Amino acid sequence: MQEREPISIKALKAGDRDAFAAMVDAYSPKLYKLALRMLGDPLEAEDILQEAFLKAYRGLENFRGGSKLSTWLYRITANEALMRLRKHELDTVPVDEPLLLDDGAEIPRELKDWCCLPEAELMSAEAQDTLDIAIKALSPTLRAAFVLRDLHGLSTREAADVLQTSEAAIKTRLLRARLQLREILSSYFSERMERLSNV
């Protein structure tokens, strides 16, 4: 996001509706994408988006400008998403930080290099489904770190600010998320490579 805030905080706090509408238009795409990635469901993503802006509206008077407007909105949205995921977890098996590779893990031998697969193969509908399944398999905190850092391009510092944790925690979560996703995609694409070579 831009360094310079294009929306006047002063106008927002004064209840300027045009400024609020401008803020909604400026940030709703990013917040919607975050919610969609976190929940994996368009209806829930829309719900979170609405809830986040309602909370932002009610909380504007408390916004101190200590962090950027974008960070503040990201935080409201991420909290809302994580809260819902926690509610879901109560109904299902708890998925707390499952780790396929621990920090002291070894690089597995005989790795398959699936990078060279044709674009059509990497972007197939089945491959896209596998991507979705893999990201949903991450624990919510790992997923949040991955989405904010790798998909939204936030810095470690900004992501830590949004998720109210330390930069070290963000780094660890990002590493674990990336490794876990690679592991799942690798087993899928390796199998595809084998099937293609047997045709």
Closest contact distance (angstroms) between CB of 132 and other proteins is 8
Query: Which window, 61-69, 89-97, 123-131, 159-167, contacts other proteins (CB under 8 A)?
Result: 123-131
**Which residue in 2, 4, 17, 90 binds other proteins (CB under 8 A)?**
17
Regarding 174 and contact with other proteins (CB under 8 A), the answer is yes
Pick the binder of other proteins from 24, 26, 60, 137 (CB under 8 A): 24
Q: Backbone phi, then psi, for 5, in 5-degree steps? A: -75, 115
x/- mask, other proteins, residues 31-70, rule CB under 8 A, reads: -xx--xx----x---x--xx--xx--x-------------
Residue 127 burial (C-beta neighbours within 10 Å; 0-12, 13-18, 19+): middle
Which x/- pattern over 134-173 shows residues binding other proteins (rule: CB under 8 A)? -x----------x---xx-------------------x--
Asked if 99 is part of the footprint of other proteins (rule: CB under 8 A), the reply reads: no
Query: Given the rule CB under 8 A, which residues bind other proteins?
Result: 17-18, 20-21, 24, 28-29, 32-33, 36-37, 42, 46, 49-50, 53-54, 57, 103-107, 109-115, 122-123, 127-128, 131, 135, 146, 150-151, 171, 174-175, 178-179, 181-182, 185-186
